């Protein structure tokens, strides 16, 4: 029986994780759950999965929950860290969205917990530090993003010297094919209509701007120890091929399945085994075509901003992420336009003076600075 701590249980990844656990209760037990503030859903999850401990980031919400349950309830960032480092946790699934997932995930790594990583921002903002800690503590980090899970499966037990490049696939999001001019007046409601995946609002907007794919390039750089020039992106609207690996002999290996996050979640939970009947198999009688095209880097400049950030290195990826979080939040509130997102990010990056990424304290300070800068730009636009 594997004891699971699920960070971010009320989000889309968290809900899918609990579906997998619910169908395999002979193998997995939910030891701990965490959420930001969604008490109604968290309460349902507590009553169904009976965790021993719960953490709620919002302290006011945590106090309300304490009055409704007999479970130990923690609060704030310290509560997230405590639940992530629980002594009986075997596996910590990090599914908190954004930079908020960094400290609890890093704390779990330092305690030697196996990590299922669904929070790409952890490696975007502090990849060097996180991977060094993982190596030092002999911690296995198993990717949960569908693209990185695909690469992980394609590369397993293969000679790293035979790898030529990684190819990450992207659906292209809801605005694929539109020019930058045609994106001037799109609204948040349109950006949230992803053609293939059901995700949270922030990640769905990141998919629409291609920033999500840029983050995945940075994450892949750290997970698979490849330079960014050997990590490519291709638009694949059907979202059937989740990623590919090209080898030095010119051959490729790809991982295919229906676009359902339960597949990579289940593989991370059960690794190195596979669980039966997780997703519906592909029907090749009805699968008519698989198509590919280059990303439109003019209409969607966030992808190049991410490549620029990882090539520059140091704390620049942390600046990229922080500015993006502020800009996306403003877009969702309809304070700024869609094309303002990359503009704000680029301007904050241009103001940042490059510095090394040697400590978490430094990363967090840069994160605060970039958020303040981005918020200032948002106010000027509004």
pLDDT in tens, 231-268: 999 999 999 999 999 999 999 999 999 999 999 999 99
Share of the chain above pLDDT 70, in %: 100
Return the number of other C-beta atoms located less than 10 Å from residue 311's C-beta: 13
Whether CATH 3.40.250.10 fits 2-143: no
Q: Is 49 a residue whose pLDDT tops 80? A: yes
Output 353 or 218, whichever has higher pLDDT: 218
Alpha carbon distances (Å) from 242 to 62, 237, 247, 290: 38, 11, 17, 12
Pairing state of beta strands 241-247 and 231-235? unpaired
Which pLDDT does position 109 carry in this prediction? 98
Quick one: which H or E segment has residue 34?
strand 28-35
Longest dimension (CA), the chain: 62
Give me the residue label for tokens 């539109």. 178
What is the arithmetic mean of pLDDT over 155-162? 91
Which pLDDT does position 88 carry in this prediction? 96
- The full set of domain ranges for the chain reads 2-143, 148-258+281-381
Distance CA 7, CA 57 (A): 10
Q: Is 198 a residue whose pLDDT tops 80? A: no
Distance CA 93, CA 13 (A): 9
pLDDT band at 98 (very low <50, low <70, confident <90, very high): confident
What does the block give as tokens for 23?
Answer: 């169908």
- Residue environment code for 19-51, b if the CB has 16+ CB neighbours within 10 A, otherwise e: ebbebbeeebbbbbbbbbebbeebbebbeebeb
pTM of the model: 0.94
Alpha carbon 65 to chain centroid distance? 27
Which pLDDT does position 208 carry in this prediction? 95
What is the arithmetic mean of pLDDT over 203-221? 96
Query: Architecture of 148-258+281-381 per CATH?
Result: Orthogonal Bundle (1.10)
Which pLDDT does position 293 carry in this prediction? 97
The burial class, CB within 10 Å (0-12 / 13-18 / 19+), for 284 is exposed
What is the arithmetic mean of pLDDT over 190-211? 86
Report yes or no: 373 and 350 within 8 Å, Cβ to Cβ: no
């Amino acid at each position: 029986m594997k004891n699971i701590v699920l960070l971010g249980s009320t989000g889309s990844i968290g809900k899918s994780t609990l579906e997998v656990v619910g169908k395999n209760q002979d193998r997995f037990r939910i030891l701990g759950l965490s959420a930001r503030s969604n008490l109604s859903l968290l309460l349902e999850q507590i009553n169904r999965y009976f965790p021993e401990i719960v953490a709620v980031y919002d302290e006011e919400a945590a106090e309300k929950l304490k009055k409704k349950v007999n479970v130990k309830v923690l609060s704030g960032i310290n509560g997230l860290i405590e639940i992530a480092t629980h002594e009986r946790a075997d596996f910590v699934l990090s599914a908190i969205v954004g930079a908020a997932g960094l400290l609890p995930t890093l704390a779990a790594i330092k305690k030697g917990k196996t990590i299922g990583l669904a929070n790409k921002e952890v490696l975007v903002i502090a990849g060097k530090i996180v991977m060094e800690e993982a190596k030092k503590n002999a911690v296995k980090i198993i990717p949960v993003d569908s693209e990185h899970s695909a690469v992980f499966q394609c590369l397993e037990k293969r000679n790293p010297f035979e790898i030529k490049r990684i190819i990450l696939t992207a659906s292209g999001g809801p605005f694929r094919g539109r020019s930058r001019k045609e994106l001037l007046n799109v609204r948040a409601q349109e950006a949230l209509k992803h053609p293939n995946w059901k995700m949270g609002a922030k990640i769905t907007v990141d998919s629409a701007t291609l920033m999500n794919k840029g983050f995945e390039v940075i994450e892949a750089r750290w997970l698979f120890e490849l330079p960014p020039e050997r990590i490519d992106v291709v638009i694949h609207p059907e979202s059937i091929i989740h990623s590919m690996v090209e080898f030095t002999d010119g051959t490729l290996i790809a991982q295919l399945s229906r676009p359902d996050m339960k597949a990579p979640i289940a593989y991370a939970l059960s690794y190195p085994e596979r669980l039966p009947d997780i997703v519906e198999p592909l029907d090749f009688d009805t699968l008519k075509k698989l198509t590919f095209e280059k990303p439109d880097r003019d209409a969607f400049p966030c992808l190049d901003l991410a490549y620029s950030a990882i090539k520059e290195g140091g704390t620049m990826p942390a600046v990229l992420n922080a500015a993006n979080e502020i800009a996306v939040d403003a877009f969702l509130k309809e304070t700024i336009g869609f094309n303002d997102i990359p503009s704000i990010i680029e301007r904050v990056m241009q103001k940042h003076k490059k510095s090394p990424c040697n400590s978490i304290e430094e990363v967090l300070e840069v994160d605060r600075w970039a958020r303040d800068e981005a918020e200032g730009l948002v106010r000027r636009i509004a």
